[in-house]
Amino acid sequence: MGNSVHPDTDESAIVDAAIAKLLQAHPPARTETQELLGAVFDSGLAWIHFPVGIGGLGLSTVLHQYVYSSLTAAGVPDYISETPIGYGMAGPTIAEHGTEAQIAHHLRRIFTGEFVWCQLFSEPGAGSDLASLSTRAVPTGDGWLVNGQKVWTTLGHLAQYGLLVARTDPDALKHQGLTYFLLDMTLPGVEVRPLRQMSGDAEFNEVYLSDVLVPDSARIGGVGEGWGVAMTTLANERLVLGATTPRHGGAIDEALALWSAREDKTSAAARVLRDRLLDLWIRDDVAWLTGARAAQRRESGPGPEGSVSKIARSSINQQTYELCADLRGAASLIYSAAAALDGTAQPGYMFLRSRAQSIEGGSSEVLRDVVAHRVLGLPPSHRPDKGIPWNEVPRS
């Protein structure tokens, strides 16, 4: 992992020029949001590594974070936080695998937030083992008839479109019988139900698909090639996720605030809390530095190092929010699940919410397997489902 890459000065110049031109032509303070975001897209600053003409400048991803910081600092709305799935997953997937018509129809609208997207991958029976999913898409005269259940669907209740992976060939090996669709969520038979989680709110949804008739024009990638397309979606997810946490922000900032507000700073028990805080502060900063270093090293696209960051982050966050609970002491006994359902902010929410961070988007256990195989080259373990058609593999 020795070789390093640093931003090409030509790329910096191109990007700086594009930003300057954009901000001059469309001063953020005096431009309506949709128009402004449309202009960002048109100037190629939406996804700088996309080809020119579809939101990009044909550059590497090295300056991705720089562009994002520069634009949001200049007053452009936070297009990543506001359309995380559209920006981070749908956009790159469509850019790479979509037809011209799909690219033309979707990309600009994704970036401006006109189309909200959700992801329809996980199922109750397919969590870590995503490729074992059971939602069926059966060809009909007019397209595909889809039946199944998806779960953990963020933004499902608001989305116009969903990134759907379904099984089109149950007799094939599990990775080979999948096909990927850009699902219109307004189609008949799509039912979205809120899914309440332990923190009390319903951030996620279950999506029931009952005889949904999907036109073949919604298919992206070939029949049976859904797994490869899904890999593009997931690989790009992390490029985006890391970008939004500022240094010393989030969990550690909350812990420091609680420490500052604390009366007892000198008792023996307080000293020990303080050391936990310092240890976590260091680990948090080191994780941030690792992200920054990875971004500087990255020439093109995300690599498996993202898995390492996610393992570290979820663990640091969980421990830091637990420290926050301890710093608040008895006050942490109070919590309103009802307020959480209403969306009211309250201390203790992230203590609960953070438990999901080591599960969602790839559990820490699965990610460690990935790191061991893809980064360290350790030999694969025995897999009883290997080389066996999907419909012959045991499932729970």
Structure-block tokens of residue 344: 């009211």
Residue 60 binds which of a second copy, other proteins, none (CB < 5-8 A, kind-dependent): none
Residue 135 CB, shortest distance to other proteins, in Å, is 16
Q: Please give the Cα distance from 52 to 97 (Å, whole number).
A: 16
Residue 308 binds which of a second copy, other proteins, none (CB < 5-8 A, kind-dependent): other proteins
Smaller CB separation from a second copy, 193 or 373:
373
Q: Which of residues 133-152 bind a second copy (CB under 8 A)?
A: none
By CB under 8 A, is residue 274 in contact with a second copy?
yes
Half-sphere exposure of residue 14: CA atoms within 13 angstroms, side-chain side: 19
Residue 262 CB, shortest distance to a second copy, in Å, is 15
The residues, any chain, with a CB within 8 Å of residue 34's CB and separated by 6 or more, are: 112, 113, 114
How far, in Å, are 24, 87, 220, 226, 232 from residue 90 at the CA level? 29, 6, 11, 14, 10
CB 191 within 8 A of CB 199: no
Residue 355 binds which of other proteins, a second copy, none (CB < 5-8 A, kind-dependent): other proteins
The residues, any chain, with a CB within 8 Å of residue 188's CB and separated by 6 or more, are: 212, 213
CB neighbourhood size of 240 (10 A): 21
Instruction: Kindly determine how many residues on this chain lie close enough to bind a second copy according to the rule CB under 8 A.
Output: 8
CB neighbourhood size of 53 (10 A): 12
Q: Please give the Cα distance from 106 to 89 (Å, whole number).
A: 12
How far, in Å, are 130, 151, 178 from residue 125 at the CA level? 9, 10, 16
Residue 75 CB, shortest distance to a second copy, in Å, is 43
Q: Which of residues 367-386 bind a second copy (CB under 8 A)?
A: 381-382, 384
Smaller CB separation from other proteins, 21 or 395:
395
Structure-block tokens of residue 348: 């203790």
* Three-state SS at 190: strand
* Three-state SS at 396: coil
Residue 9 binds which of other proteins, a second copy, none (CB < 5-8 A, kind-dependent): none
Residue 329 binds which of a second copy, other proteins, none (CB < 5-8 A, kind-dependent): other proteins
Q: Which of residues 210-269 bind a second copy (CB under 8 A)?
A: 268
Structure-block tokens of residue 289: 């530095």
**Catalytic choice (237, 254, 305, 322):** 237
Q: Please give the Cα distance from 174 to 386 (Å, whole number).
A: 9
By CB under 8 A, is residue 275 in contact with a second copy?
yes
Smaller CB separation from a second copy, 3 or 381:
381
Residue 326 CB, shortest distance to other proteins, in Å, is 6
By CB under 8 A, is residue 6 in contact with a second copy?
no
96 is annotated as an active-site residue: no
Residue 216 CB, shortest distance to other proteins, in Å, is 31
Q: Please give the Cα distance from 257 to 316 (Å, whole number).
A: 17
Smaller CB separation from a second copy, 9 or 266:
266
Residue 272 CB, shortest distance to a second copy, in Å, is 4
> Can you give the binding site for a second copy, defined by CB under 8 A?
268, 271-272, 274-275, 381-382, 384
Residues tagged active-site: 237
